[in-house]
Amino acid sequence: MARHRIAILPGDGIGRDVMDAAKIVLDKLKLDAEYIPGDVGWEFWKSEGNALPERTSKLLRNTDCCLFGAITSKSKEDSEKELNPELKDKGYSYYSPIVKLRQEFNLHTNMRPCKAYKGNPLNFRDDIDLVVFRENTEGLYSGVEYYPLPDELMAVLAKHPRMKRFTTVPLEDIALSCRIITRTGARTIIRQAFEYARKSGRKNVTLVEKPNVLRETGGLMLHEARDIVSEYPGIELQEVNIDAMCMWLVKNPQDYQVLVCANLFGDITSDLCAQLVGGLGFAPSANIGNNYAIFEPTHGSAPKYTGQYKVNPMAMLLTVKLMLDYLGESELSGRLEEAIARVIKEGKIRTYDIGGNASTLEVAEEVTRNLAL
């Protein structure tokens, strides 16, 4: 029996292109693993009314971790238009499968390293090396949303003094999305950020919030962060508002090491940070829980490039590195990162986004050649 059982979910669009690149590298590394493919994504929404079939969740429950490609997510209105006509009006409603997976498997921590590898012409600066810790199961992604606003909910909300001015608005003219933050959720992600800072020798953690306006949810994050920092002597807590943070990250990104954010702020911040180190083609991510983990590049499914093997696989290959770390394969992980760094630095084989004309798979092959060195 293989040492690791890994579920493989290529998903939509270029998910398959980058997954093929990952396989080339994993084969060359001779990771002792069994790979089990599964169904997820838009075609299953259209044909079955479920982008994440139950058989896929079951598959994941029987594996050690999952490597995920990319996913197409559309709004409620747009997704309903594409559902198989026979399934229409049967109560199916689209919900992003990756968001669902993060919640179903309680993958509370989304870790998104953004590191400038030397020689990447798209680096905003060459000295950026930061990691975003994004809370991954709650906040504005909790999925507790209403439209129209139910009567009984309005009756309760109307007791809030700041709700008064909305009470005359017709219920079918109000939509509500709840930002739910629990103390456990807040403490878990903040602790993960501090633990990472401690293990990696980083000296500060920045809480990216907005407690001056989001007084209760932002306030809870701030309160818990101020409590937890006391357990980490030598590591400083910086508190920066999300809007100011976007400015500081463009002004002085090298000053930041570990960022910790609630779900939506982390989603936004991690795209910004990705662009500082060459764009989404260089941004890996890991969704980690207590018993399971899903590894996926931060980028989306880029439908217009589907099957063209044109996109940059580096984000996916760096994601494979995170997976190897999780599986305890530190020697392979180290070799892979060195090979990736060397290919970026040499700059001979590059995809279109960095001014080259190599294919997705040619970049993966070049990385494997460097593994052998």
Q: Is 360 in the site for ligand IPM (CB under 6 A)?
A: no
**Eight-class DSSP state of 129:** E
Among 39, 64, 138, 267, binds Mg ion (CB under 5 A): 267
Q: Is 315 in the site for ligand IPM (CB under 6 A)?
A: no
Q: Is 73 in the site for ligand IPM (CB under 6 A)?
A: yes
Q: How far out from the chain centre does Cα 368 lie?
A: 26
Phi and psi at residue 317, to the nearest 5°: -70, -35
Among 138, 224, 267, 366, binds ligand IPM (CB under 6 A): 267
Between 110 and 370, name the residue whose CB sits nearer to ligand IPM.
Answer: 110
Tokens of 35: 């790979």
Q: Is 71 in the site for ligand IPM (CB under 6 A)?
A: yes
Out of Mg ion, ligand IPM, none, what residue 72 binds, judged by CB under 5 to 8 A for its kind, is none
Do residues 45 and 82 touch, judged by C-beta distance below 8 A?
Answer: yes
Q: Is 96 in the site for ligand IPM (CB under 6 A)?
A: yes
Question: Segment 196-225, which members bind ligand IPM (CB under 6 A)?
Answer: none
Distances from the Cα of 337 to the Cαs of 19, 174, 367, 370, in angstroms? 17, 49, 9, 10
Neighbours of 301 (CB within 10 A): 23
Q: Which residues fall within 8 angstroms of residue 229, CB to CB, at 6 or more apart? A: 194, 205, 235, 236, 237
Q: Taking CB positions, which residue lies at the least distance from ligand IPM?
A: 96
Do residues 232 and 175 touch, judged by C-beta distance below 8 A?
Answer: no
The size of the chain, in residues, is 373
CB of 73 to ligand IPM, least distance (A): 4
Out of ligand IPM, Mg ion, none, what residue 96 binds, judged by CB under 5 to 8 A for its kind, is ligand IPM
Between 17 and 267, name the residue whose CB sits nearer to Mg ion.
Answer: 267
Helix axes 263-276, 242-251, angle to 10 degrees: 10
Q: For ligand IPM, which stretch binds (CB under 6 A), given 95-103, 146-154, 223-231, 342-350?
A: 95-103
Q: For ligand IPM, which stretch binds (CB under 6 A), given 96-104, 171-179, 217-225, 330-338?
A: 96-104
Q: For ligand IPM, which stretch binds (CB under 6 A), given 15-23, 93-101, 194-202, 224-232?
A: 93-101
What is the CA angle 276-320-326, rounded to 5? 105
Helix axes 314-326, 15-29, angle to 10 degrees: 50
Q: Is 142 in the site for ligand IPM (CB under 6 A)?
A: no
Q: Reduce the DSSP state of residue 142 to 3 states and report it.
A: coil
Q: Which residues bind Mg ion (CB under 5 A)?
A: 267
Q: Which residues bind ligand IPM (CB under 6 A)?
A: 71, 73, 96, 98-99, 267, 298, 300
